[in-house]
Amino acid sequence: MRTDRPGQDAARRDGAGTRLPHYSYGVYADPALADRFDRMRFSGPIGTLVAENQEAVLLRFLDPVEGLQVLDVGTGTGRAALALARRGARVTGLDASAEMLRVARQHAAAGRVEIRFEVGDAHALPFPDRSFRAAVSLRVIMHTPDWRRCLAELCRVAADRIVFDYPALASVAALHALGRHVGHVLNDRVEAYRVFRGRAIGAAVAAQGFRVAAVHRHFVLPIALHKAVGSRRFTERIEAILAAAGLLRLFGSPVTVLATRCASS
């Protein structure tokens, strides 16, 4: 299981020494996956709950949203970009997968919202310094080859704030990450995501002149477990009990972070 050690190269090598793309590029280039991505991640009672919680925290951390110029890095099918654009933000969505952006454009057209979508790499954003008031990146650094570089790029292009999330090392979800890592060894299309220590995250943004201003922890139990049960009522009740016992504060994951630029930077 990968933790918060420095990221790996964006490519690996096969037995003949040929450089192969990192799985995070290859998997999401699949048009069939792009077409079913939202159904996989955000359908059903738990997928809907996850999407609602994610959107609510994002809007709270970026408030006020209307008129805000935002870059959504790793926008995928555009869920965060759409939520912000519907509330009046001026949004640019960037992703390495043209297929995911194809679906995102379809969603934007169906919702009659204007969003600028571009193909690009989170490790080298094609924008000048501080060209957006805020930058967002959800469910991205857990998969990227070099997460520190991605965070540095977010900080570079954001004038005021960045919002991103990560799975916590100190959580039950870390066991799920271990299982995914084993699965990736057997099948390189399995997403073997990394988990993080909060201290490493804080140090990474501090190195770019930002500070962690707020965090929101979502669930104590792994989302995969909640999806297996498939009951929103169960999830809300058990998570409320665990939160009241203080376990959410200690072991909640994923963690959504608001980091703001320090006055001196």
pLDDT recorded at residue 125: 97
Cα-based angle 115, 118, 5 (whole degrees, multiple of 5): 115
The CATH topology of domain 11-261 is Rossmann fold (3.40.50)
- Whether pLDDT at 16 is above 90: no
Question: What tens digit of pLDDT does each residue of 162-188 get?
Answer: 999 999 998 987 776 666 555 556 566
| DSSP bridge partners of 118 | 94
Comparing 176 with 29, the larger pLDDT belongs to 29
Assign 26 a pLDDT band (cuts: 50, 70, 90): confident
| Spans of all domains in the chain | 11-261
pLDDT more than 70, % of the chain? 85
| Alpha helices for the chain (secondary structure H) | 23-26, 31-42, 44-62, 79-86, 98-111, 147-157, 173-186, 198-206, 223-229, 232-244, 247-251
Average pLDDT, stretch 202-225?
Answer: 96
pLDDT recorded at residue 185: 60
Rounded (to 5) percent helix, strand, coil in the chain: 45, 20, 35
In this structure, how many other beta carbons lie within 10 angstroms of the beta carbon of residue 245? Answer: 11
pTM value is 0.88
Helix (H) and strand (E) counts for the chain? 11, 9
pLDDT recorded at residue 178: 66
How much is the mean pLDDT over the chain?
A: 88
pLDDT recorded at residue 176: 67
Question: What tens digit of pLDDT does each residue of 71-107 get?
Answer: 999 999 999 999 999 999 999 999 999 999 999 999 9
Return the structure tokens found at 102.
């194809």
Q: How far is CA 162 from the centre of its chain?
A: 12
pLDDT more than 90, % of the chain? 74
Q: How far is CA 194 from the centre of its chain?
A: 12
Question: What tens digit of pLDDT does each residue of 181-193 get?
Answer: 555 565 665 566 7
Cα-based angle 56, 83, 140 (whole degrees, multiple of 5): 80
- Whether pLDDT at 109 is above 50: yes
